[in-house]
Homo-oligomer: A and B are copies of this chain.
Amino acid sequence: MTNIKDLAQHCGVAISTVSRVLNDHPDVSEETREKVLRAVRELHYIPNTSARNLVRTTSDTIALLVKGVNNPFFAKLIKVIEREITKQGYTLELHHMDTSVDELHVGAQLANDRKLIGILFLGGRFNYSPEELALINVPSVFCTYTNTFGNLNDSDYSSVAIDDKQAARFAVETLVNLGHRRIAILTDNDDDNSISELRFQGYKDALNAHGIAFDPSLVACTGTFSDMGAIYRTTSDLIERDNSFTAIFAIADLMAIAAIKALSDHGKRVPDDCSVVAIDGLELSEYTLPTLTTLVQPVEEMGLTCAKTIIDLIESHGENKQYTFETVLRPGGSIRRLDK
């Protein structure tokens, strides 16, 4: 296998020069840098980081533990986190787990087995107890969720999330302000101590604030965030049992897309016969017909904050913090003012 001496000989430069290029030092001419990097490619040079690792006492590996895999919002967030973690000189190990498994147990196991220096949990429960969190003996950050239903001390955990209840309330009020009063909700679940329940509560808060009676027959629980077939069928059932609603609040973009299709197949056009608003702000839903009106989560900033927070905890034993981000309404073609 090619080593650094071979590279130096091939390029006719000193070994120390090759080393400077490989370690990205500034004091190398552009010409020499290019020559060395070309040789790296042509001679298939593989830096021996295993050797470097031998003299380290700990690993440089941060795990990103993702709950559920088919979520396009997560896909973007993962990309941002991975870019930043790698840029800061750490290794990101990506692990996916089923939504039926508990993330703290999987995380504890991973930290144990793989000598992790930190864990980013992407998706999780909002109700950890101190005893449960104690399972995780490395720095961690809860990404896209926080401890709303749990009893952790603020000084004991870090989180990066939107205010799910507030965002849902804002989405529903957008519909109310357009004259809608029969507003259905499409949610994964209404009592899961998680994102779904919070967004469901925000929906009820908005109705309540505007003197609109809550009607359980307008609640459609899909039991899933990503199975579009199931979401389509749940929406179809809703349409078949209630013909009076003029708007739907879907708690995620992907749900809204499946709902719009179900409405269309039942002869209801969006927004003419029914308005639809959602939360996420996927790139995809800017390209559907109609485009989706949705509350955009600031995925770039959230991803950067996740990465910076875990690195700060690892490097400086920084204080735990809970970050809350604002969503921004992205107007689309899926809502309209209700005629009197």
Contact = CB atoms under 8 A, between A and B. Distances in A.
A53 B264 CA distance: 55
Q: Which of A48, A132, A287 has the most CB of B within 10 A?
A: A287
A69 interface: yes
Given A69-B78, A75-B75, A108 B46 contact: yes
A245 to B, nearest CB: 20
A222 B201 CA distance: 43
Contacts of A232: 287
A312 B63 CA distance: 28
Interface string A228-249: 1100100000000000000000
A271 interface: no
B46 A109 contact: yes
B105 A46 contact: yes
Contact of A112 (B50, B109, B113): B50
**Chain A: interface secondary structure?**
helix
A70 B282 CA distance: 12
Contacts of A41: 102, 105
A75 B79 contact: no
Instruction: Give the 9 A-B CB pairs with smallest separation, nearest first.
Output: A94-B94, A261-B287, A258-B287, A69-B79, A289-B289, A46-B108, A228-B287, A50-B113, A49-B113
Contacts of A50: 112-113
B288 A288 contact: yes
B109 A47 contact: yes
A283 interface: yes
A287 B112 contact: no
A38 interface: no
Nearest to A261: B287
Given A44-B105, A288-B257, A229 B283 contact: yes
A196 B228 CA distance: 28
Interface string A48-63: 1110010000000000
Contacts of A78: 69, 96
Contacts of A46: 105, 108-109, 112, 135
Nearest to A132: B44
A108 B48 CA distance: 11
Nearest to A288: B288
A79 to B, nearest CB: 5
A72 interface: yes
Contacts of A104: 44
A161 to B, nearest CB: 22
B70 A76 contact: yes
Given A46-B109, A49-B113, A261-B288, 5 more contacts: A44-B135, A82-B96, A229-B283, A261-B291, A288-B289
Interface in A99-149: 102, 104-105, 108-109, 112-113, 131-132, 135
Contacts of A112: 46, 48-50
A319 interface: no
Nearest to A83: B98
